[in-house]
Structure 1
C-alpha cells in the first residue's frame, strides 16, 4: 500500500516542474448571445465579476483541472470542471432559470450576500481540501468563535463544537432544510453521519439566532448544510486516507450526470475507522448516501436516503486531572465491549414546483429511524436498583451483583416542511412556510449478563420510558429593497408539546407533559455603501425549550424553564479583488439561560440549570488578504464578555471522605461571574503559500483562552488556554486521463502542544467551609498526521 503512496507522491513532485501559470479569460453570455455584465465567476479560489463585455479575466491560473462556477440572477448556475492546460479562454452560455440544482431546498434557511445577519459560507472546495476523515465540526474550526474537540482526542468518533460559548444543544442544524437536531437532547451527533462532508456542496454557519427556521430555536448558531448539487456530467470519485492511530477513511462516489436531460442518480459508500488517541477509544463508522431525482422545467422531485452506523468505545469519562502528567491517554473503562452502538437512517423526499419566474413552491417529507444502545460492565450493583429481589445461597443473602447492561434508544422522527417563495418585483420578496414534525422514542434498559441473575428473565426491561414530541411552526419572511437600503422581517410562531412517562434509567418515575407557545420575531436592515461594502443591523428574539436531561436531572419542585434571548447584531463587510473583511458586534441577552454547571451525568451528558439573567457581548472579525498571487492570509477573531448576574451556587455538604453529611446545602452568591465553557478570546490564522503550481502549503493556527469548568470563574477549575498549529500540504494535478488527483497531507499539532479541549468538575463543601472538587479533562492528540489521496474520474 505504501509503495503506491510513494509512487503517487513522486509523480506529483515530478509534475511540479512541468506546471505553469497562465492568463485565462471567461466569456459569459446569455442563450441569445448577449454579454452578461455582473455575473459572478469562481475559479481556483478567485472570484471575479464580468465586465460590460461579459468577460472575467484571471491573470495567474494554475494549469490544472479546475471547477468553473458562474452565477447570474435569473439564470441557472453553471458548474463545469475543465482542464486548463491547453486553454486560454472559455465561452459560457447561461440558460434561463428553468432547472434548479438543489439550492432551492435551503433557500428558506439561508441568508443572501447582503443580508443583515452574521454568517460564513464554506464552499465545496474548502470542504474537500480539509475532509480527511475527521468529524464535520473540524471543518468549521477556522471560522469565528468556534471551538472543537473530541472525546477520543483525534477528531474521529464523538466530537463537540461550541460557537460563542454555546454547545451543540444550542446550534440548530438542517440538512437541505430538514432539521437534524435530536428532538429530545437538541444535540446534533455527527458521529451518526460519518463522512457526510463527502456529499456536501456547501455549509452556511449563522452566528447568533440567525434566520434559520426549521428545527429547534438556535441560541448559539445555525448550520445549514446543502448536499451535492446536480452535476450534469457523469462522474466518479475514489477517496482514501491513512493516518496516525491506525486511522483509515475509504470513500467511493459515483454520479450518473443528467440522463435524457431530466434524471440523475448519485451514490456514496464510506468507511472510517480509528484506534483513537485515548486508550481503547476506537471508532468503526460506516455510511452510505443515495439520491435520485427528476429535474424538469416546472417540476423537480428528489428522493434521498443516507445512513450512518457507528460503534465507538466509550471515552466520555475523560482523564482525571492528577493523571494528565503521567498518562494522558488513560481510559478508565476496561471491559472489552464498553461501546456505544447506534444506527440512524434518513429518508427525504423533496418536491419543487416552479409556478412562474417569480413563484416557487417547495414541500418535503422526511423520516428518520434511529436505534442503538451503549453497553457497559458494572460491579457490585444493588438488586434493588434493577427491580430485583435479594437471593439466598446456602444461607447467605446476596443483594449485589456484577453485571453487563445495555441502555437502549429506539426512535422515529418524521414530518413535513414546506415553503412558498414569491418575488413581487425587483424590490420585494416574500417567503411563507412552516413545518409539522413528530418524534416518538423509547428508552429502556436490559441486563444481558449477571453474576447472580436473581429473579430476572430473558428480555426483561428493568426500566422503560417512552416519549412523544410534537413540534409545529409557521413563518413569514419579507425582504425589501429601497435603493441602497435593504430591509427584512421574519416572524415565526412555534408550538411544542412534549410528553414522556415511565421510569428513567435510575428507575425513578418521571412523568412530564409540557406545552410551549413561542413567538420568534427578527428584523434587520442593510445599507449598501458601495458595490464592495455594506453595513447591517439586526434584532432577533427567540425562545428555546429545555431538553430531556434538564427534566430528568431536576427535582420535581424545580422544573427547568424555557429560555429567552434578545440578540442584537451590527456589522460591516468590505470586499475587493484582493481583500475581504467582515467585522461585527453582538449582544445576546438571556432570561433563564440554561447554563452548564460543569458536572456530567453517568452517561457523559452535561447537567444544566437556569440562570435568571445573563449575557454575552462580543466582537468578531473575519478577513482574507491575497497579498501576492502566491500568498494568501486569512484570520478570524472572537472577543467576548460572557457573564451571569447574581448567580447562586448550591453545594452539597460532605465529610473529608466525600460522603454526604445530610446537612442543608450551602449557597454561595456571585454578583457577577463568567459563564462556564465560554472563552473570552478565540483566534485563528491561516497562511497559504503556492510556491510551485499546483503545490499548496498552509499553516493553520488556533488560540483559545481559558474556559471555566463551572460558573465560579476559578482557575483551579478550568481548561488552560491552548495554542495549536496545523500544517497542510496539497498537490493537485491531472494525468493518465483522470479528471483530477489530489494528494493531501495534514500534520496536526506540529508543535506537539499538550492541551485539553474540554472537561468537567464535581464536588461539594465540608462542614468547615473547605471546598472539595475533582476535575477531569479530555486531552487532545499530540503531533499526528492524515494522508489522503482523492482521484476524480
Structure 2
C-alpha cells in the first residue's frame, strides 16, 4: 500500500502555517482599497509575467483548440514555439510521441497541469498519450525555455511547459465534435460548461480517439475524461478536478533499417507487441485572499497508473520470432501537495511556497510461458521550498528566485541497494528594463541540478542487476547541473509582437542520449564532463491587415560536447528550425498555410550518422456558419520522404523512424 505519512505531515504543516501567514498578511502594509475583489478562479503563482526576466511564450487555449484534432501535443509545440522537435513511434500524430526542446529530451523538461507535476517521478517523462485530447481542455499554456522560474516536480532543466485547465468562469456552452482522416484516424468528443451558476460552476469533457497508424501494426485507441467543478466566494474559491485516460497501442518503438524501408516504408520492426495503460489524476485546489494584497494558494493531489506492455526479445535482437513473449507490468500511485503565499504591493511581488510528494511504482516482469520472472518496487520522495521576489524601481524590475530541493530514491527487489538522496540549491536572478510601454529588455542567470532517472541508474534494465559478488550494478548516481544565461527583448505593438532572445547553457556532468535503446525500450544515456548549448530564438507575429496574419518562429542552435581531446555535436539537435504560417480570414472563411524546415542532425556521438534536413508544407481551410465549424487539414502536402529520428546499432546499422507522407483530416464541431 502507498504510504500517506508524508501527505499527513503536509496537511498538519498547512494547518499550522497558513493561519500564521494570514495573520502576517493581515498586519502588513497594504494598498488602500474599498473592498476585496471577488476571486476570478484558482490561480497558479509559478508563471512568468510581462516583466519577468526569463524566456517564455504564452499560447491561448482558443488558438490551441483551433489546431487540435486529438494529435499528440508534441506536434503542436513543434509548430508554435521555437526550438522544439518531435517524432512518433507510429509515424502518424496519435499514440506515442516525443519532443525535445533545444535538443534536450522531455525527461529534462518540467511539465505541470495547474501546478501538479505530470512527469513520472522515476523516469521523469511526461506521457501525454495517457491523457489524450488534453489540449482540448486548456485555457492557456506557458512555455519557459531554459531554467526559467521555480516549478513543482522535476527540474526545469531544458525548460518547462505549464498547462492551465479550462476556466470555470467562461460563459456556458456545449460543444460536440468529430473528425476523420488518413490511416483510419478519428476523434469524437463532447464538452459542456455550465458557466457560473450562483457560486458554482462545472466543466466536463469526454473524448474517444483512434488511428491505425502509418506503420504496419501500429494502431492506437484511447479515451479520456476531464471533469472540473468549483465554488467561488468573495475571499476564497475551491476547484476539484479529475482527469482520467486509457490507451491501447500496437507497439512500434523500434527503428527500421534503411534497407528495409526502401522496400516498404510502412515496415514495423516490432512484432505482435501491444500495451494497455490507464492513468488518473485528482486535484483539489483552494485560493484564499485574506487581504486585498495577500493570497494563499493550496493544492493536494493524487495520481495512479496501471498497465503494461509486451516485449519480444527475438525481434529486438533481430532474430526470427518464436512463441517467447515477455511482459512489463506496472502499478504506481502518488500523493502530493503544494502551497504558496503571495504578497503584492505597488513596487514588489513576493511569493514563497513548498511542494512535497511521495510515489511508488511496482514493476513485474513475466514471460507468457515461464510466468513471473521478477518483481521490484521503486520509491521516490521529494520536498522543495522556494521564495521569489520581483521588485520594480522605475523602469527596472529585479528578479530573484531561490529553490531548495531534495529527493530520495529507494529500491526494493532481489538486489540490495542503499537509498540514494540528492540535494539541490537552485538560484536564479535577473533584471528587466522597460525601455517603453511596449518594449522590454531582460537578462537572467540561473543554475539548477537534476538527479539521474531510474533508467539512467539501472543502465536500461527494468530489474536491477548484480555483479559476480552480488553487488548492485548501478550505472550512474551523479547529478547533472546547468548554468543558463538568457538575454532578450520583447516588443508588443498593435498588429505586431516580437520576441528575440539568445542563450548560453553550460553543463556539468550532463546526462545525454547516446543514440541507443535499452532492453526495456527506453533510450540509453552517457555522462559527458563538459558540454554547452547556445543559440538564438525568435517569435514574430505580424498582422498587417484585419484579414491577413503571419506567424513566425525560428531557432538557431550551436551545441558541443567535449570529452578529453574530442569535440562533437550532441545527437538529435538540428542547427536550424524554422516555422512560417500565413493565415487569411475573411467572413466565414479561413485559409492557412504553414512551412516547416529542420536542418540535419546527428544520430551518434561520432557524428558519422545523420538524418538529413527536410522541409514540409501543411495547410488548413476552415468554414464557420452559425454554431458549425468545418476544418480540413492537409499535412506534408509535398509528400516529402524524410526521417525525423533514429539511432545507430552497435554493429553500425542505422535505423530510422518514418513519418507519414501526405495525409488529410476533416474536423467538424458544433456549439449549442
TM normalised by structure 2 equals: 0.90
Structure-1 residue corresponding to 2:148: 210
CA distance in 2, matches of 1:379, 1:607: 20
- Determine whether 1:361 maps to 2:281: no
Q: Check the 8 A contact 1:498/1:513 in 2, yes or no.
A: yes
- Determine whether 1:265 maps to 2:182: no
- Determine whether 1:350 maps to 2:285: yes
Q: Which has the higher contact order (CA 8 A, sep 6+)?
A: 2
Distance 1:777 1:232, change over 3 A: closer
Task: Show the 5 A alignment for 1:64-75.
Answer: none
CA distance in 2, matches of 1:406, 1:229: 41
Q: CA deviation at 1:603?
A: 3.1
Range 586-595 or range 210-219, more displaced: 210-219
Structure-1 residue corresponding to 2:463: none
Q: Check the 8 A contact 1:153/1:780 in 2, yes or no.
A: yes
Structure-2 residue corresponding to 1:430: 350
Deviations 1:347-392 (A, max 9, x none): 101111111110111111100010001024556999xxxxxxxxxx
Give SS of 2:476's match.
coil
Give SS of 1:592's match.
strand
Q: Check the 8 A contact 1:431/1:476 in 2, yes or no.
A: yes
Give SS of 1:412's match.
strand
Q: Which of 455, 459, 477 is the matching residue for 1:549?
A: 455
Distance 1:234 1:630, change over 3 A: closer
**Structure with the greater alpha carbon radius of gyration:** 1
Q: CA deviation at 1:168?
A: 0.7
Number of aligned residue pairs = 624
Q: Which of 360, 363, 368 is the matching residue for 1:443?
A: 363
Q: Check the 8 A contact 1:240/1:788 in 2, yes or no.
A: yes
Structure-2 residue corresponding to 1:675: 570
Range 134-143 or range 431-440, more displaced: 134-143
CA distance in 1, matches of 2:242, 2:366: 31
Q: Check the 8 A contact 1:729/1:745 in 2, yes or no.
A: yes
Q: Check the 8 A contact 1:501/1:512 in 2, yes or no.
A: no
Distance 1:436 1:380, change over 3 A: closer
Distance 1:301 1:380, change over 3 A: closer
- Determine whether 1:311 maps to 2:248: yes
Q: CA deviation at 1:636?
A: 1.2
Structure-2 residue corresponding to 1:660: none
Q: Check the 8 A contact 1:319/1:329 in 2, yes or no.
A: no
CA distance in 1, matches of 2:403, 2:58: 24
CA distance in 2, matches of 1:380, 1:249: 32
Structure-1 residue corresponding to 2:465: none
Structure-1 residue corresponding to 2:535: 618
Deviations 1:14-56 (A, max 9, x none): xxxxxxxxxxxxxxxxxxxxxxxxxxxxxxxxxxxxxxxxxxx
Deviations 1:651-705 (A, max 9, x none): xxxxxxxxxxxxxxxxxxx521101111111111111112x31211111111111
- Determine whether 1:781 maps to 2:660: yes
Structure-1 residue corresponding to 2:504: 587
CA distance in 2, matches of 1:609, 1:271: 39
CA distance in 2, matches of 1:788, 1:673: 45
Distance 1:754 1:365, change over 3 A: same
- Determine whether 1:405 maps to 2:322: no
Q: Check the 8 A contact 1:212/1:222 in 2, yes or no.
A: no
CA distance in 1, matches of 2:658, 2:87: 9
Q: Check the 8 A contact 2:536/2:556 in 1, yes or no.
A: yes
Q: Check the 8 A contact 1:241/1:250 in 2, yes or no.
A: yes
Distance 1:514 1:315, change over 3 A: same
CA distance in 2, matches of 1:754, 1:401: 33
Structure-2 residue corresponding to 1:229: 167
Q: Which of 388, 405, 418 is the matching residue for 1:494?
A: 405
- Determine whether 1:244 maps to 2:182: yes
Structure-2 residue corresponding to 1:91: none
Structure-1 residue corresponding to 2:635: 748
- Determine whether 1:637 maps to 2:571: no
Task: Show the 5 A alignment for 1:519-598.
Answer: 519-553=425-459, 556=473, 558-598=475-515
CA distance in 2, matches of 1:612, 1:268: 47
Distance 1:355 1:381, change over 3 A: closer
Distance 1:510 1:202, change over 3 A: farther
Distance 1:461 1:306, change over 3 A: same
Structure-1 residue corresponding to 2:381: 470
Structure-2 residue corresponding to 1:284: 221
Structure-2 residue corresponding to 1:120: 57
CA distance in 1, matches of 2:417, 2:614: 43
CA distance in 1, matches of 2:315, 2:612: 36
Deviations 1:606-661 (A, max 9, x none): 100110100001011110111222221121111111101125xxxxxxxxxxxxxx
CA distance in 2, matches of 1:789, 1:285: 19
Distance 1:556 1:330, change over 3 A: same
Q: Check the 8 A contact 2:552/2:580 in 1, yes or no.
A: yes
Structure-2 residue corresponding to 1:689: 584
CA distance in 2, matches of 1:379, 1:122: 45
Deviations 1:137-184 (A, max 9, x none): 222122111111111111100001111001111110000001000001
- Determine whether 1:171 maps to 2:109: yes
Q: Which of 461, 465, 473 is the matching residue for 2:372?
A: 461
CA distance in 1, matches of 2:270, 2:449: 39
Q: Check the 8 A contact 2:574/2:601 in 1, yes or no.
A: yes
TM normalised by structure 1 equals: 0.77
Give SS of 1:322's match.
helix
Task: Show the 5 A alignment for 1:126-165.
Answer: 126-142=63-79, 143-165=81-103
Which structure 2 segments of 5+ residues have no match? Answer: 1-30, 461-471
Structure-2 residue corresponding to 1:63: none
Root-mean-square deviation over aligned CA pairs: 1.9
CA distance in 1, matches of 2:199, 2:96: 40
CA distance in 1, matches of 2:425, 2:315: 50
CA distance in 2, matches of 1:486, 1:521: 17
Q: Check the 8 A contact 1:381/1:401 in 2, yes or no.
A: no
Structure-1 residue corresponding to 2:612: 720
Give SS of 2:76's match.
helix
